[in-house]
Structure 1
Amino acid sequence: MKKVLSLLAAFGVMFCLSSCGDDDDPVADNGVTITGIPATATIDNLGTYTGTATLEAKDGLAALAVTKGGAAFDAETYAGETSATYAFSYTAEEADADSNITFTFTATDADGDTEVFTHVLSVGDAPTPLPNEVLSGLITANKTLTADRIWELAGRVIVTDGATLTIEPGTIIKGRPGEGTNASVLMIARDGMINAEGTADMPIIFTATADNIAVGQKKGTNLDAGDNELWGGVVILGNAPISPDAGTTAQIEGVPASEPLGQYGGNVANDNRGILKYASIRHGGTTIDAVAGNDINGLTLGGVGSGTTISHIEIFANFDDGVEFFGGSVNITNLLVYTVGDDAIDVDQAYSGTVSNFLVFTSTAASSDEGLEIDGPEGAENSTGKFTIQNGTITSVDGGGSAADFKSKAQGTVNNVKYSGFTGGATIKIRASFDPGNSCADKTDAYTNLIGDNLVFTTIEFSAVSVYDGDGADACDVPASYQTSAAGKVSSTSATGASDASVFDAWSAASISALL
Structure 2
Amino acid sequence: MKILKHTVSLLIVLALFISCNDDNGNDPNPPSATAPETQNVLVGESLDLTFSISVDAGYESASVSAANGEASISSEPESGATSGDIVVSYTGNTTGAGSVELTVTDVDGLTAKATAVINVGEEQKEFTITENITEDTTWEDGKTYILGGRIIVEPDVTLTIEGGAVVKGEAGSGSNATTLLVARDATLNANGTAQAPIIFTSVADEITPEDVDNGNFGSPNLDETQNGLWGGVIVLGNAPISYSDDGNDQTEAQIEGIPTSETLALYGGNDPSDSSGSLTYVTIRHGGTNIGQGNEINGLSLGGVGNGTTIENIEIVANQDDGVEWFGGTVNVSNVLVWNNGDDALDTDQDWQGTVDNVVTMSPDGSSMELDGPEGSSATVSGNAHTIMNVSAYVETNGSELIDVDDNTNVNISNVVFFGLATDDSGNADNMFSSDYSEYADNTKGYTITSIDAVLPSGTALADYFPQSLVDDGEVEEVADAQSGTGADTSVFGWTWASQAGALSNVGL
* TM-score, normalisation: structure 1: 0.64
Q: 1:257–1:209: structure 2 CA closer, same or farther, 3 Å change rule? A: closer
CA contact (8 A) 1:412 1:454 kept: no
Shift of 1:253: 4.6
Partner Cα distance (1:361, 1:216) in 2: 28
Q: 1:461–1:265: structure 2 CA closer, same or farther, 3 Å change rule? A: same
Residue number in structure 2 paired with 1:386: 385
Residue number in structure 2 paired with 1:231: 230
Q: How does 1:322-401 map to 2 (within 5 A)?
A: 322-363=323-364, 368-381=365-378, 383-396=382-395, 401=400
CA contact (8 A) 1:301 1:324 kept: yes
Match status 1:201 vs 2:168:
no
Residue number in structure 2 paired with 1:476: none
Partner Cα distance (2:183, 2:486) in 1: 34
Q: How does 1:9-408 map to 2 (within 5 A)?
A: 130-217=124-211, 218-245=217-244, 246-253=249-256, 259-289=262-292, 292-363=293-364, 368-381=365-378, 383-396=382-395, 401-408=400-407
Q: 1:454–1:231: structure 2 CA closer, same or farther, 3 Å change rule? A: same
Shift of 1:498: 3.2
Shift of 1:385: 3.3
CA displacement, residues 247-281 of structure 1 (integer Å, 9 cap, x when unaligned): 22222357676753121111111111000000000
SS at match of 2:291: strand
Q: 1:461–1:157: structure 2 CA closer, same or farther, 3 Å change rule? A: same
Shift of 1:147: 1.6
Question: Which amino acid letter does the alignment assign opposite residue 371 of structure 1?
Answer: S
Q: 1:213–1:409: structure 2 CA closer, same or farther, 3 Å change rule? A: same
Shift of 1:332: 0.8
Residue number in structure 2 paired with 1:501: 490
CA contact (8 A) 1:386 1:411 kept: yes
SS at match of 1:287: coil
Shift of 1:215: 1.6
CA contact (8 A) 1:450 1:486 kept: no
Partner Cα distance (1:412, 1:380) in 2: 18
Residue number in structure 1 paired with 2:449: 457
CA displacement, residues 95-129 of structure 1 (integer Å, 9 cap, x when unaligned): xxxxxxxxxxxxxxxxxxxxxxxxxxxxxxxx966
Partner Cα distance (1:134, 1:142) in 2: 17
Residue number in structure 1 paired with 2:102: none
Question: Which amino acid letter does the alignment assign opposite residue 213 of structure 1?
Answer: I
CA contact (8 A) 2:409 2:440 kept: no
Shift of 1:148: 2.4
Partner Cα distance (1:409, 1:159) in 2: 34
Task: Indicate the RMSD between aligned Cα atoms, in angstroms.
Answer: 2.5
Question: Which amino acid letter does the alignment assign opposite residue 330 of structure 2?
Answer: S
Question: Which amino acid letter does the alignment assign opposite residue 503 of structure 2?
Answer: L
Partner Cα distance (2:123, 2:291) in 1: 34
Partner Cα distance (1:453, 1:249) in 2: 26
Question: Which amino acid letter does the alignment assign opposite residue 492 of structure 1?
Answer: V
Shift of 1:132: 1.6
Partner Cα distance (1:220, 1:254) in 2: 25
Identity %: 42
Partner Cα distance (2:182, 2:203) in 1: 21
Residue number in structure 2 paired with 1:512: 500
CA contact (8 A) 1:390 1:417 kept: yes
Q: 1:420–1:255: structure 2 CA closer, same or farther, 3 Å change rule? A: closer
Q: Which has the higher helix share?
A: 2
Question: Which amino acid letter does the alignment assign opposite residue 275 of structure 2?
Answer: N
Shift of 1:157: 0.5
Partner Cα distance (2:236, 2:420) in 1: 35
Match status 1:491 vs 2:454:
no
Alignment coverage as a number of residue pairs: 356
CA displacement, residues 168-192 of structure 1 (integer Å, 9 cap, x when unaligned): 0111000001111221100101111
Partner Cα distance (1:380, 1:224) in 2: 45
Question: Which amino acid letter does the alignment assign opposite residue 182 of structure 2?
Answer: I
Partner Cα distance (2:382, 2:498) in 1: 37
Shift of 1:349: 0.7
Higher-Rg structure is 2
Partner Cα distance (1:255, 1:337) in 2: 23
Unmatched runs of 5 consecutive residues or more in structure 2? 1-120, 212-216, 455-461, 505-509
Q: 1:193–1:398: structure 2 CA closer, same or farther, 3 Å change rule? A: same
CA contact (8 A) 1:410 1:449 kept: no
Question: Which amino acid letter does the alignment assign opposite residue 281 of structure 2?
Answer: Y
Question: Which amino acid letter does the alignment assign opposite residue 385 of structure 1?
Answer: N
Q: 1:187–1:305: structure 2 CA closer, same or farther, 3 Å change rule? A: same
Shift of 1:221: 1.1
Question: Which amino acid letter does the alignment assign opposite residue 298 of structure 2?
Answer: N
Shift of 1:488: 4.7
Partner Cα distance (1:399, 1:128) in 2: 53
CA contact (8 A) 2:239 2:274 kept: yes
Q: Report 1 or 2 for greater relative contact order, CA contacts < 8 Å, sequence distance ≥ 6.
A: 1
| Larger mean Cα displacement after TM superposition, 205-214 or 251-260 | 251-260
Question: Which amino acid letter does the alignment assign opposite residue 452 of structure 1?
Answer: T
* TM-score, normalisation: structure 2: 0.65
Q: Which of the residues 423, 427, 433 maps onto 1:429? A: 433
Question: Which amino acid letter does the alignment assign opposite residue 458 of structure 1?
Answer: T
Unmatched runs of 5 consecutive residues or more in structure 1? 1-126, 433-444, 468-482
SS at match of 1:186: strand
Question: Which amino acid letter does the alignment assign opposite residue 371 of structure 2?
Answer: I
| Larger mean Cα displacement after TM superposition, 331-340 or 381-390 | 381-390
